[in-house]
Structure 1
Amino acid sequence: MALSDEELDRYARHIVLPQVGGAGQLRLKAARIAIVGAGGIGAGVIPALTGAGVGHLTIIDDDRVDLSNLQRQPLYEADQIGERKVDLAARFIGSRNPNVECRTVADRIEIDNADAILSDHDLIIDGTDNFATRLLVSDSAVRLGIPLISAAAQQFQGQVALFRGRPCYRCFVGDAFDADDCDTCAELGVLGALTGTVGSFAALLAIRAIVGIAPDVSGTLHLLDGSNLNWRQVRIIADPACRACGSTSSPSS
Structure 2
Amino acid sequence: MAAPEDCSVLQAALVEREREIAKLKSQINNLKGRGSCDQLLDQGVPVFDEREVATLPRKTTLSRDQIGRYSRQLVLPELGVQGQLRLANTAVLVVGCGGLGSPLAQYVAAAGIGRLGLVDHDAVEVNNLHRQVLHSERRLGWSKARSAAHTVQQLNSDVDCIPYHLELCASNAVELIKQYNIVADCSDNVPTRYLVSDACVLAQVPLVSASALRMEGQLTVYCCKGGPCYRCINPEPPSPDTVTNCADGGVFGVVPGVMGSLQALEVLKIAAGMNSSYSERLLLFDGLSGRFRTVRIRGRQKHCIACGDSSLIPPLPDYESWCGTTANDKCRHLMLLNKEERIEVQEYKELLEKGNPHLLLDVRPAVEFEICSISSAIHLPLEHLQTGNHQAVEDLRELVLQEISKLPSNNASLPVFVICKQGNDSQKAVLLLREFLAAEAVTLMDIQGGLMAWAARVDLMFPQY
TM normalised by structure 2 equals 0.52
Shift of 1:213: 2.1
Indicate the residue corresponding to 1:3 in structure 2.
62
Shift of 1:71: 1.1
Shift of 1:68: 0.6
The answer to whether the 8 A contact 1:150-1:169 is kept is: no
Q: After superposing the two structures, state which structure 1 stretch, 243-252 or 16-25, moved more.
A: 243-252
Q: How does 1:110-189 map to 2 (within 5 A)?
A: 110-163=169-222, 164=224, 166-177=227-238, 182-189=243-250
Secondary structure at the residue paired with 2:289?
A: coil
| Counterpart check, 1:95 vs 2:154 | yes
Indicate the residue corresponding to 1:232 in structure 2.
293
RMSD, aligned α-carbons: 1.8
The answer to whether the 8 A contact 1:62-1:84 is kept is: yes
The answer to whether the 8 A contact 2:189-2:245 is kept is: yes
Residue 74 to residue 58, structure 1, CA distance change in 2 (3 Å): same
The answer to whether the 8 A contact 1:160-1:202 is kept is: yes
Shift of 1:174: 2.5
The one-letter code matched in structure 2 to 1:233 is T
Shift of 1:250: 3.8
The answer to whether the 8 A contact 1:65-1:82 is kept is: yes
Shift of 1:177: 3.9
Deviations 1:223-245 (A, max 9, x none): 11111111111222133332211
Unaligned runs of 5+ in 1: none
| Counterpart check, 1:37 vs 2:96 | yes
Residue 178 to residue 212, structure 1, CA distance change in 2 (3 Å): farther
Deviations 1:172-217 (A, max 9, x none): 2231249699432111111100010000000000111111224654
For residue 308 of structure 2, the aligned residue among 228, 242, 246 is 246
Separation in structure 1 between the aligned mates of residue 65 and residue 142 of structure 2, nearest angstrom: 32
The answer to whether the 8 A contact 2:219-2:278 is kept is: no
Separation in structure 2 between the aligned mates of residue 181 and residue 82 of structure 1, nearest angstrom: 31
* Identity of matched residues, %: 35
Q: After superposing the two structures, state which structure 1 stretch, 106-115 or 174-183, moved more.
A: 174-183
The answer to whether the 8 A contact 2:100-2:211 is kept is: yes
**Number of corresponding residues:** 253
Separation in structure 2 between the aligned mates of residue 242 and residue 183 of structure 1, nearest angstrom: 26
Which protein, 1 or 2, shows the higher relative CO under an 8 Å CA cutoff with sep ≥ 6?
Answer: 1
The answer to whether the 8 A contact 2:131-2:254 is kept is: yes
Shift of 1:248: 2.6
Secondary structure at the residue paired with 2:283?
A: strand
Q: Which is greater in Rg?
A: 2
Deviations 1:122-170 (A, max 9, x none): 1000000011101110010011110000111011111111121531112
Secondary structure at the residue paired with 2:108?
A: helix
| Counterpart check, 1:106 vs 2:155 | no
Residue 11 to residue 175, structure 1, CA distance change in 2 (3 Å): same
Unaligned runs of 5+ in 2: 1-58, 316-465
| Counterpart check, 1:60 vs 2:132 | no
Secondary structure at the residue paired with 2:295?
A: strand
The answer to whether the 8 A contact 1:132-1:177 is kept is: no
The answer to whether the 8 A contact 2:89-2:114 is kept is: yes
Q: After superposing the two structures, state which structure 1 stretch, 149-158 or 196-205, moved more.
A: 149-158
Q: After superposing the two structures, state which structure 1 stretch, 144-153 or 223-232, moved more.
A: 223-232
The answer to whether the 8 A contact 1:115-1:140 is kept is: yes
Q: After superposing the two structures, state which structure 1 stretch, 6-15 or 226-235, moved more.
A: 226-235
Secondary structure at the residue paired with 1:17?
A: coil
Secondary structure at the residue paired with 2:97?
A: coil
Indicate the residue corresponding to 2:144 in structure 1.
85
Separation in structure 2 between the aligned mates of residue 89 and residue 45 of structure 1, nearest angstrom: 11
Separation in structure 2 between the aligned mates of residue 91 and residue 120 of structure 1, nearest angstrom: 22
TM normalised by structure 1 equals 0.94
Residue 216 to residue 157, structure 1, CA distance change in 2 (3 Å): closer
Separation in structure 1 between the aligned mates of residue 240 and residue 161 of structure 2, nearest angstrom: 31
Residue 190 to residue 222, structure 1, CA distance change in 2 (3 Å): same
